[in-house]
Structure 1
Amino acid sequence: MRKQNHHHMLVDRPSIRILHAVGGMNRAGTETWLMHILRNIDRDLFQMDFLVHTDQPSAYDEEIRALGCQIIPCLDRSKPWLYSRNLKRILREYGPYDIIHSHVHHFSGYILWLAKQVGVPIRIAHSHNDTSEVDAHASFLRRLYTTLMKGFIQGSATAGLAASRVSAVALFGDDWENNTRWQVLYCGIDLTPFKTPVDGLALRRELGIPEDAFVIGHVGRFEEQKNHLFILEIAAIVAQKEPGMRLLLIGDGILRPMIEEKVKQMSLTPCIIFAGLRSDVPQLMQSVMNIFLLPSIHEGLPVVGIEAQAAGLPFVLSDVVTEELDRGLPLIRRLSLSQSSLQWSDLILDIWVKKLDISKPEMLNIIEHSPFNIQNSLTNLVDFYRKLWELTQVINEGNLK
């Protein structure tokens, strides 16, 4: 039997050791889902470590370590030869791992190719994003890179997961359904915070939002994909018609200073709140926001979209976001990004005036019984890991008649 990590109780069989590859464990959709999994999984049976591409501390690092898992930086991502040496050293030093589960989209190809050379038996590529459109219009060098990486994934992944059907196409190709290696696994959320009453007035006061203000909310990294400039255009028009409007932007990222500057230029400073990274998104959705806005240029299956529905929050999103997000609640309205900011703002004001004829508890109940409940998501992931692990055991024991 394999040597156990000393803080683990000895069980009749060795725990399955999994290494997750991520950029950094910050508060974003994929990482938050991984934290839900980590908190809820049987940590005696599954030992999870995190390979990150940064040496900066990230939001979830402390909690991960407190749960007995390791954060292992692997640097020089932009220098393949150095990265290769680093990763192989980590796999030997911290290993052996049964599973490497990579969440870094195209770059997963290189990681899994290297893991295959070191002999990690189960190698999973996980697509959380629909980048097909962006990839198609990329520069020649970028297309060369994505083609190479997709080739590596085809050759080195023993299995692949996707957050939605469009995410599957983006990484595994149009015919992904014909290959048993690839499957969709919906990322779930923990619904506990949505069942707890919240003091909305206190939260509004803390953020400097008037009690009676009409609040448009957005949660997302400050990156091109999230389309913050368009959000500002929409907000500017809503503010003209509804002077009590506030726009609450949650998140952080490389474009934040530019967006803050733009807010000053547009004289929108009084009505825009930059709240930074927050750990209480469910509470803010339930009690502070009146409408959620997500005009993303592309998405896999946005976790915030599930959270908004669990909070019973009406929301307006771009029609590139996959249909699978829609749980049949009367909350979701889609618009094309080719529609003007005026058309978007009209729709937002229209929704605000109308009242929904379904209660929040009823909506929460629908999400609870959907694949987006963390318990359902966790069960599916554990079954997936188990099947793959049992298969490798059979192969190892040479039981294949």
Structure 2
Amino acid sequence: MHYTDSTDIKAHNQISTKQRPIRILHVVGGMNRGGVETWLMNVLRHIDRDRFQMDFVVNTEKPCPYDAEARSLGSKIIPCLNPAKPWLYARNFKRILREYGPYDIVHSHVHHFSGYVLYLAKQAGVQIRVAHSHNDTSAIDAKAGFHRRLYLTLTKWLIDRYATIGLAASCQVVEVLFNQTWKTDSRCRILYCGVDLTPFRDIVDSVAVRAELGIPADAFVIGHVGRFEEQKNHRFLIDIVAEIAKREPNIHLLLIGDGSLRSEIQQKVIQNGLVNRVTFAGLRPDIPQLMLGAMDLFLLPSIHEALGLVLIEAQAAGLPCVFSDVVPEEANVVKPLVRQVSLSHSASDWAEAVISARSGASAITQADTLPVLENSHFNIAVSLQKLTEVYEVNFMMN
């Protein structure tokens, strides 16, 4: 078929997208219960799957918590191993594009490594290539050694050269992957990840939820959701709780998540005499119910965050939130609920901030907070609409 001008091409693409879905290949480490993957699952649950087909490339063969649900919604989970061996990864990735494609879009969420992914996608003929910045690693990157700096320089150059779209989860993380001139680059934009707010409208039996977790009904429960990795700063979190316990005998800490540091943190809890005050709940699919039914306050002393979607969820649950000042300002959606503290402050200072936030908790209710979130960028409906517009506009242009 011969097309005389761009109008004919656009018309052909419009007809094509009605006949078949736009095919998107997301590249992630694994479909775990992290912030990025949870957002992608929210997208998958709510997207029009007659118009958009989403598959996932992961760098593991181990089963991950979201695998089964993603497959039940029509997505493929495709292992692409050996990211630490670029030549092997390249062969695997190109084979996947041949066997499972063709894909209209490759959307990469693997931080700086996205540069290499999008270079391979370009070689394979994929026209729309998305690099998505989800984390603020600037402080860590600034301390990198020679070989790491070389890697960061190369991958940022690859992103600049081969990304046709640059997305960032907040203003704070744009320059981690993209140039300082991103505001004048038509490819780059902020796209806030959204939360499904429907579960936060549920009526939850607090007594039953706490009983199931073995938490006293009258305890003051501090909640935390996050992977047991350096970024989430669990060691300092336990120091804070130990200080709070000196002032508040009814304190209890609920930790949700898993990770490589879990055993170390469990040992630290024992050393601080907090065994009866801390519950390790592991990975859970019912975060909204636990926030609504078990938690009185949310604590997040992260070392770095792109945004911290769990903070959006905590505010949707009407919880007072105390978190580190590295978290972007955009996370302060319901300002009366939030309090930021510098990581340079002591555990005792943080403990005072938590106790102070607790005392002011009655000033605003969840009935006040939920509508604010529903009308924000962080509603999954808003986030999804902006994402699909990006996909469709770029699809029509190619």
Q: Same-fold call, TM > 0.5?
A: yes
Show the counterpart of 1:170: 176
Quote the offset at 1:260 in angstroms.
1.0
Q: Is the 8 A contact 1:194 1:283 kept in 2?
A: yes
Q: Distance in 1 between matches of 2:273 and 2:333?
A: 38
Query: Which one-letter code corresponds to 1:150 in the other structure?
Result: K
Determine which of 172, 190, 195 is the counterpart of 1:189: 195
- 1:131 to 2:140 alignment: no
Q: Distance in 1 between matches of 2:349 and 2:177?
A: 33
Q: Which runs of 5+ in 2 are unaligned?
A: 2-15
Task: Percent identity, please.
Answer: 58
- 1:87 to 2:117 alignment: no
Show the counterpart of 2:231: 225
- 1:364 to 2:367 alignment: no
- 1:305 to 2:311 alignment: yes
What SS does the aligned partner of 2:49 have? coil
Determine which of 193, 200, 211 is the counterpart of 2:206: 200
Query: Which one-letter code corresponds to 1:70 in the other structure?
Result: K
| Structure 1 residues 82-127: Cα deviation after superposition (integer angstroms, max 9, x where no partner) | 1110001111111110000000101111100111101111000000
Deviates more, 1:346-355 or 1:188-197: 346-355
Please list, as runs of the form range in 1=range in 2, the aligned pairs for 1:287-366 lying within 5 A after superposition. 287-366=293-372
Show the counterpart of 2:107: 101
Q: Is the 8 A contact 1:100 1:115 kept in 2?
A: yes
Determine which of 58, 73, 81 is the counterpart of 2:79: 73
Query: Which one-letter code corresponds to 1:275 in the other structure?
Result: A
Show the counterpart of 1:240: 246
Query: Which one-letter code corresponds to 1:173 in the other structure?
Result: N
Query: Which one-letter code corresponds to 1:120 in the other structure?
Result: V
Q: Is the 8 A contact 2:134 2:173 kept in 1?
A: yes
Relative distance call for 1:158 and 1:295 in structure 2 (3 A) is: same
Quote the offset at 1:266 in angstroms.
1.8
Deviates more, 1:115-124 or 1:260-269: 260-269
| Structure 1 residues 359-399: Cα deviation after superposition (integer angstroms, max 9, x where no partner) | 2112100100001000001110011100110111xxxxxxx
Q: Distance in 2 between matches of 1:220 and 1:332?
A: 18
Quote the offset at 1:174 in angstroms.
2.1
Determine which of 261, 271, 292 is the counterpart of 1:265: 271
Q: Distance in 2 between matches of 1:351 and 1:101?
A: 40
Q: Distance in 2 between matches of 1:277 and 1:329?
A: 29
TM-score, length basis structure 2: 0.95
Query: Which one-letter code corresponds to 1:352 in the other structure?
Result: R
Deviates more, 1:264-273 or 1:313-322: 264-273
What SS does the aligned partner of 1:356 have? helix
Show the counterpart of 1:396: none
Q: Is the 8 A contact 1:329 1:363 kept in 2?
A: no
Q: Distance in 2 between matches of 1:330 and 1:238?
A: 22
TM-score, length basis structure 1: 0.94
What SS does the aligned partner of 1:183 have? strand
Query: Which one-letter code corresponds to 1:279 in the other structure?
Result: P
- 1:144 to 2:144 alignment: no
Q: Is the 8 A contact 1:290 1:313 kept in 2?
A: yes
Show the counterpart of 2:41: 35
Q: Distance in 2 between matches of 1:51 and 1:355?
A: 43
Q: Distance in 2 between matches of 1:310 and 1:380?
A: 21
| Structure 1 residues 199-225: Cα deviation after superposition (integer angstroms, max 9, x where no partner) | 111110111100110111110001101
Q: Is the 8 A contact 1:229 1:259 kept in 2?
A: yes
What SS does the aligned partner of 1:142 have? helix
Determine which of 274, 277, 281 is the counterpart of 2:283: 277
Q: Distance in 1 between matches of 2:27 and 2:377?
A: 24
Quote the offset at 1:328 in angstroms.
4.0
Q: Is the 8 A contact 1:11 1:44 kept in 2?
A: no
RMSD of aligned alpha carbons: 1.3
Q: Distance in 1 between matches of 2:368 and 2:222?
A: 23
Query: Which one-letter code corresponds to 1:284 in the other structure?
Result: L
Q: Distance in 1 between matches of 2:146 and 2:24?
A: 35
Show the counterpart of 2:7: none
Q: Distance in 1 between matches of 2:288 and 2:18?
A: 39
- 1:110 to 2:116 alignment: yes
Deviates more, 1:37-46 or 1:171-180: 171-180
Q: Distance in 2 between matches of 1:281 and 1:86?
A: 35
Q: Distance in 1 between matches of 2:346 and 2:146?
A: 31
Q: Is the 8 A contact 2:339 2:357 kept in 1?
A: no
| Structure 1 residues 114-167: Cα deviation after superposition (integer angstroms, max 9, x where no partner) | 111011110000001111111111222211111111111001101110000111
How many residues were matched structurally? 384
Q: Is the 8 A contact 1:327 1:367 kept in 2?
A: yes
Q: Is the 8 A contact 1:221 1:251 kept in 2?
A: yes
What SS does the aligned partner of 2:106 have? strand
Quote the offset at 1:40 in angstroms.
0.5
Q: Distance in 1 between matches of 2:134 and 2:82?
A: 23
What SS does the aligned partner of 1:330 have? helix
Q: Distance in 1 between matches of 2:27 and 2:396?
A: 22
Q: Distance in 1 between matches of 2:184 and 2:136?
A: 19
Relative distance call for 1:167 and 1:13 in structure 2 (3 A) is: same
| Structure 1 residues 168-221: Cα deviation after superposition (integer angstroms, max 9, x where no partner) | 111113221121111000001111100010111111011110011011111000
Query: Which one-letter code corresponds to 1:310 in the other structure?
Result: A
Quote the offset at 1:313 in angstroms.
0.5
Q: Is the 8 A contact 1:310 1:364 kept in 2?
A: yes
